[in-house]
A and B are shown apart, each in its own frame.
Chain A
Amino acid sequence: MNIESMGMVEMRRMGMYDGSHQIGIWADCFKAESSQNTSSSAVLEEQDGRIENLSEDAHQGIVGPSKPYEQEASKPSDKLIRRLAQNREAARKSRLRKKAYIQQLELSRIKLAQLEQEVDKVRNQGVYIGEHVGNSTAGYSGSVNSGIAAFELEYGHWIEELSRQICELRAALQGSASEIELGILVENGMRHYENLFRMKSIAAKSDVFYIVSGLWKASAERFFLWIGGFRPSALLKVLSPQLNPLTEQQRMAVCNLQLSLQQAEDALSHGLERLQQALFETLAVDPLNSSGRTSYMGLMEQAMLKLEALASFVDEADNLRLGTLQRMYQILTIRQAARGLLALGDYLRRLRALSPLWAARPRQLSQDHGNII
């Protein structure tokens, strides 16, 4: 019977157990795998080594002297020396593995930081910086779409130009500029919005879902989203309070505009719902229907044909927005129109600014640390 296969009981019977203190400790070690009472540093150098040692060798029983008659109380046996050496080796290997793992983690961390930087760079190339600090423009993280990238870039410039125009309007109104000067500013403002809708129309041909979902907008703006932009009726709500005093004729015209606008908006909304329904019905076919008259591709083609109408909805919604602005331009005096454009630009600026402010707000953490009062 070789020593490795001997259990503790056998060893004790053979008189080996009443040996050195160290062997006793060894025995305790292997008796309980979860034992924490090994304080002898000579026995184990590392926590890792010990656990490994236990799992590898525990089944082999107690380590004892290789030959019972060679055992001496104070001198560690060959077997013990070998065991200690193995232990050190195992511990060393474990340390090396741990080190390698940590190194790998560090490398991954650096790579991740690099990737994040790249993503930010690509985003900022297109997305205007300005008031988007801390605001995620909702991952337009798909493959690079040059039409959309171009749109985002242009939109950044558009926002800058809008800010400039708003400043000019404010200065002109506060500084009592002439009607002619105001008229020019108003016309510029109108043309600026026309440009935006033109840009959107082109971008919608690249990716209509991007436009419909308002992905270029700040998150707070998207809260109010209606078919890829702001609601025309909401536009009136922003403008109207700023325009007093209105003549009775003007008041009636604005009122009628409000009413017809609401009807047009509702008609578009309903139409869009019908489109959604049609798309839903096209895609939601019975998966277990084996008669399968329409193949998968045929089905997808049908769906895509229906989707083509989506770009028209964006166009018509934008037409409604522009139409509202143009109608107001007809109803109002130049000065009123200037005030209206200023109010609109200001409102949009504040709405955009809400996003990063909201994202950066201090949170009220729960102070419940178990204080019992």
Chain B
Amino acid sequence: MKKMAAALSLDGGESPEMMMAENPVVVFSRRSCCMCQVMTILLSMVGVRAKVVEWEEEEAATGEVMVAEEGMPVVFIGGERIGGLERLMGMHLSGRLVSRLKAAGASFH
């Protein structure tokens, strides 16, 4: 995992794990993915700004293996994989999203 992480350089060489450590909410996505936008819009409606990491096609395959078992876009809250848009919306409908975000230390605007 760490070897692959090193090979995958994003935003100045940060590994996904470093990303997640620095940001309570991270969304990994392919470039110009509509569903990723839906995710970030929803999160911003809830009051949180997500860190978006977009991967080019070449990196996406490796990235998927690493972080997105079920495909992209995928959201991590507090370093834990939540899943895709469906999971995120389901969590929000059942009222668990806000508490999860707060627990991860996300700042609400």
Q: Is the CB of A270 within 8 A of B41?
A: yes
Band of interface residues on B: 20 to 34
Binary contact readout B24-47 vs A (1 if CB under 8 angstroms, 0 otherwise): 000000001111011101100110
Chain A residues near B41: list those with CB within 8 A: 266-267, 270-271
CB proximity of B101 to chain A, nearest CB, Å: 13
Chain A residues near B93: list those with CB within 8 A: 257, 260-261, 264, 320, 323-324, 327
Q: Is the CB of B86 within 8 A of A260?
A: no
**Which listed residue (B32, B34, B42) contacts A264, Cβ 8 A?**
B42
Chain B residues near A267: list those with CB within 8 A: 38-39, 41-42, 45
- Stretch in contact with the other chain, from A92-100, A144-152, A308-316: A308-316
**Which listed residue (B86, B95, B97) contacts A253, Cβ 8 A?**
B95
A155 vs B45: C-alpha distance in the bound complex, in angstroms?
Answer: 36
CB proximity of A193 to chain B, nearest CB, Å: 15
Q: Is the CB of A271 within 8 A of B32?
A: no
A274 vs B38: C-alpha distance in the bound complex, in angstroms?
Answer: 9
CB proximity of A76 to chain B, nearest CB, Å: 90
Tell yes or no: A104 within 8 A of B by CB. no
- Chain A, range 243-268, C-beta contacts under 8 Å to B: 253, 256-257, 260-261, 263-264, 266-268
- In this complex, what residue of B is CB-closest to A263? B45
Q: Number of A residues contacting the other chain (C-beta, 8 Å)?
A: 27
Tell yes or no: B66 within 8 A of A by CB. no
**Which listed residue (A256, A316, A330) contacts B89, Cβ 8 A?**
A316
CB proximity of B22 to chain A, nearest CB, Å: 25
CB proximity of A225 to chain B, nearest CB, Å: 19
A316 vs B93: C-alpha distance in the bound complex, in angstroms?
Answer: 13
Tell yes or no: B85 within 8 A of A by CB. yes
A327 vs B89: C-alpha distance in the bound complex, in angstroms?
Answer: 12
- Assess A309 versus B89: contact at CB under 8 Å? Given A263-B42, A330-B94: no
Q: Is the CB of B35 within 8 A of A312?
A: yes
A353 vs B37: C-alpha distance in the bound complex, in angstroms?
Answer: 38
A327 vs B35: C-alpha distance in the bound complex, in angstroms?
Answer: 23
Tell yes or no: B51 within 8 A of A by CB. no
Q: Is the CB of B34 within 8 A of A271?
A: yes
Additional A-B contacts beyond A260-B97, A270-B37, A309-B35 (11; CB < 8 A): A263-B45, A263-B92, A264-B42, A267-B41, A268-B38, A274-B37, A316-B38, A316-B85, A319-B90, A320-B89, A327-B94
- Which residues of A line the B interface, CB within 8 A? 253, 256-257, 260-261, 263-264, 266-268, 270-272, 274-275, 278, 309, 312-313, 315-316, 319-320, 323-324, 327, 330
- Which residues of B line the A interface, CB within 8 A? 32-35, 37-39, 41-42, 45-46, 85-86, 89-90, 92-95, 97
List 20 A-B pairs, Cβ < 8 Å. A260-B92, A263-B42, A263-B45, A264-B42, A264-B92, A264-B93, A266-B41, A267-B39, A268-B38, A270-B37, A271-B35, A271-B37, A275-B34, A278-B32, A309-B33, A309-B35, A312-B34, A316-B86, A316-B89, A327-B93
